[in-house]
Amino acid sequence: AEEQLFVVYQPVVRLLPDGGVDRAAGVEALVRWRHPQRGVVPPIDFIQVAEECGLIGALGDFVLERACRDFMDWQARLGPAAPRLMAVNLSRAQLGQAGWIASVARVLRDTGMAPACLQLEVTESLAAQDQDTQARLHDLKALGVKLALDDFGTGYSSLSSLHLLPVDTVKIDRSFVCQADTSAHHRVLIEATVKVAQSLGMNTVAEGIETQSQLDVVRSQRCDKAQGYFYSRPLPASELLAWLDSKMAVAA
Ligand code: C2E
Ligand code: MG
Ligand code: MG
């Protein structure tokens, strides 16, 4: 109500076979709270509180609507150079809310955003839940939006049950990626995840890439996309446009 929440965007790049990257592949929307005394509060400190006090619905709606509006604004301004996919995180409580799927459809309609440009991210533990949750994920898919499994590797669901989940993309958790270049075990886990995902026609994103050597590993394992501080920290919308622009200038 006091407009203290805002959304930042972290680029997600596509790793091209020629060794280059497509920088306009997509972005992930990440919420922040500008608190008058505490300064900028990260989502880890307030998402769960919002869930517990019943504010997650309003918070999630705000992020979704802001993200879709910004996405369409970039389309209008940059055309084909604009990011092609907008990822938005979902919390457990949102998925369970009556009427929520209809409100996603409404935001898409109101903003004019193509459903296939929206990727909703759910965690493994959430996606692997009961039949009800599964049914809701299928309802979302029926709208035409993409689904991603976030933080893969940190929950209980396994590679052997990946085929049961209606997801298009698997995001490999940072805890694996950050050891990609130092631990053979983690390297093999990433490799196995990429291979199983590919065998099911799913894309993979390596989360939390911070160094060139981590990037080299996930690239050699044919991961489709990468996200992390190595490319960019999450940025306010205005800075994201500058980031896209400066990289285009360098490429040209
Ligand atoms: P996530 O969806 O897995 O988002 C990625 C998180 O990793 C972000 O943290 C991002 O800033 C951080 N990150 C990205 N690259 C790197 C890197 O190279 N190194 C390190 N150390 N970190 C990196 P953030 O923004 O603090 O968000 C944390 C989590 O909070 C998100 O994890 C997501 O689960 C949740 N979250 C964020 N925004 C929302 C939202 O609007 N709604 C809901 N329900 N959850 C959200
Ligand atoms: Mg996410
Ligand atoms: Mg994640």
pLDDT in tens, 41-81: 999 999 999 999 999 999 999 999 999 999 999 999 999 99
Angle, to 10 degrees, between the axis of helix 100-111 and the axis of helix 131-143?
20
Residues 217, 208: Cα–Cα separation, whole Å: 13
Question: Tell me, what's the pLDDT at 98?
Answer: 84
Q: 77 C-alpha to center of ligand 1: Å?
A: 27
Q: 149 C-alpha to center of ligand 3: Å?
A: 8
> Does 154 contact ligand 1 (Cβ within 6 A)?
no
Alpha-carbon radius of gyration of the chain: 18
Return the residue matching tokens 């886990």: 189
Q: 227 C-alpha to center of ligand 3: Å?
A: 10
Residues 132, 125: Cα–Cα separation, whole Å: 14
Q: Is the CB of residue 129 less than 8 Å from the CB of residue 123?
A: no
Question: Tell me, what's the pLDDT at 203?
Answer: 97
Question: Tell me, what's the pLDDT at 248?
Answer: 56
What b/e string do you get for 95-107 counting C-beta neighbours within 10 Å, with b at 16 or more? beeeebbebbbeb
Question: Tell me, what's the pLDDT at 251?
Answer: 47
> Does 93 contact ligand 1 (Cβ within 6 A)?
no
* Residue to probe by mutation, ligand 1, list 28, 89, 171, 214, most atoms within 8 Å of CB: 89
Q: 29 C-alpha to center of ligand 1: Å?
A: 9
Question: Tell me, what's the pLDDT at 247?
Answer: 60
Question: Tell me, what's the pLDDT at 228?
Answer: 98
pTM of the predicted structure, to 2 decimals: 0.96
> Does 63 contact ligand 1 (Cβ within 6 A)?
yes
Nearest of 86, 110, 100, 82 to residue 245 by alpha carbon: 82
Q: What are 204's strand-pairing partners?
A: 170
Residues of the chain with pLDDT under 70: 129, 156-157, 247-252
